[in-house]
C-alpha cells in the first residue's frame, strides 16, 4: 500500500506520515529531505543555489544515506531546498529514488509536495494536510524554542509564507492537492488528533 501525504511547509505532514508508517509497518520517506540534501551538497561544494548546473549535478549524485544529517532540519535548509526544487532536472533526478522507495515490500508512506500528483499518482490513499499560516508558524516556533534556537515567530511565519508561495507558483510539480486527495485541516488539532483523523480517512478508503 502506498500512502501519499502532501501539504505546505510545517503542516505536520512529516510527523503524521511517520506515525502512519509505523502503524502499518510501512517504509517512510520524508521527500523534503532529498531537496534539502541537494541544496546542502551544492553549498558544501562551494557552489551557488542559483547555479543550475551545480544543483542538477548534486541531485544526480545524491546519497540517500546522508539524509539523517540534523543540519537538514533548519529553516535555512528548507528555504534553500525550495530554491533548487524549482529546477525541473533536479526534480527529475530525484524521481526514480522516490518511486523505487514507494515500491518496497508492503509499501510506503511518502510525504512532500507532489507525491499524490507526480511521484505516486496511483497511491492508494492521498491526504493533503493543511493548517493556517499562524498555526504552522507557532508549531515551528515551539519546536525551535525547545531546541534552544533563537529564531522568532515572525521570522518563521515569513519563511513559511515565502516558501509556500515559491512552492505553489513554480511551473513544475507545484505544491497542490491531487484531485482525489482528501483534505485534512489540522489548525485546531494536536498531533494525536491529527493522527486519529488521518487514520479515519485511510481506513474508510482501504476498508478496515
Which stretch in 31-39, 45-53, 58-66, 145-153 sits in contact with ligand DC by CB under 6 A? 31-39
What is the closest distance, in whole angstroms, from the C-beta atom of residue 99 to ligand DC in the complex? 12
What is the C-alpha separation between 151 and 41, in angstroms, rounded? 24
Which triple of cell numbers denotes residue 91? 526534480
116 binds ligand DC (CB under 6 A): no
140 binds ligand DC (CB under 6 A): no
Q: Which is nearer to ligand DC, 118 or 203 (CB)?
A: 118
55 binds ligand DC (CB under 6 A): no
CB atoms near residue 64 (< 10 Å): 13
Beta strands in the chain (DSSP E): 2-6, 27-30, 108-112, 125-130, 182-185
112 binds ligand DC (CB under 6 A): yes
Which pairing describes strands 27-30 and 125-130: parallel, antiparallel, or unpaired?
Answer: unpaired
Check residue 121 and report its DSSP letter. Answer: T
Considering only 26, 55, 81, 127, the residue that binds ligand DC (CB under 6 A) is 81
Which stretch in 50-58, 63-71, 81-89, 130-138 sits in contact with ligand DC by CB under 6 A? 81-89
State phi, psi for 28 to the nearest 5 degrees: -135, 130
Residues lying near ligand DC in the complex (CB under 6 A) are found at: 9, 31-32, 35-36, 78, 81-82, 85, 112-114, 163, 167
Amino acid at each position: 500500500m502506498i500512502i501519499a501525504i502532501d501539504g505546505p511547509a510545517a503542516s505536520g505532514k512529516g510527523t503524521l506520515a511517520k506515525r502512519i508508517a509505523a502503524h502499518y509497518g510501512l517504509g517512510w520517506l520524508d521527500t523534503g529531505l532529498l531537496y534539502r540534501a541537494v541544496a546542502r551538497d551544492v553549498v558544501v561544494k562551494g557552489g551557488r543555489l542559483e547555479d543550475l548546473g551545480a544543483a542538477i549535478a548534486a541531485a544526480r549524485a545524491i546519497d540517500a544515506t546522508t539524509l539523517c544529517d540534523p543540519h537538514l532540519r533548519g529553516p535555512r535548509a528548507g528555504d534553500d531546498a525550495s530554491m533548487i526544487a524549482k529546477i525541473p532536472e533536479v526534480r527529475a533526478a530525484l524521481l526514480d529514488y522516490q518511486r523505487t522507495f514507494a515500491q518496497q515490500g508492503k509499501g510506503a508512506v511518502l510525504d512532500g509536495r507532489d507525491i499524490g500528483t507526480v511521484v505516486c499518482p496511483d497511491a492508494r490513499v492521498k491526504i493533503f494536510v493543511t493548517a493556517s499560516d499562524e498555526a504552522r508558524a507557532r508549531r515551528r516556533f515551539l519546536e525551535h524554542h525547545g531546541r534552544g534556537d533563537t529564531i522568532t515567530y515572525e521570522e518563521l511565519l515569513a519563511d513559511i509564507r515565502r516558501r509556500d508561495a515559491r512552492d505553489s507558483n513554480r511551473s513544475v510539480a507545484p505544491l497542490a492537492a491531487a484531485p482525489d486527495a482528501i483534505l485534512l485541516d489540522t489548525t485546531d488539532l494536536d498531533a494525536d488528533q491529527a493522527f486519529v483523523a488521518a487514520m479515519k480517512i485511510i481506513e474508510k478508503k482501504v476498508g478496515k
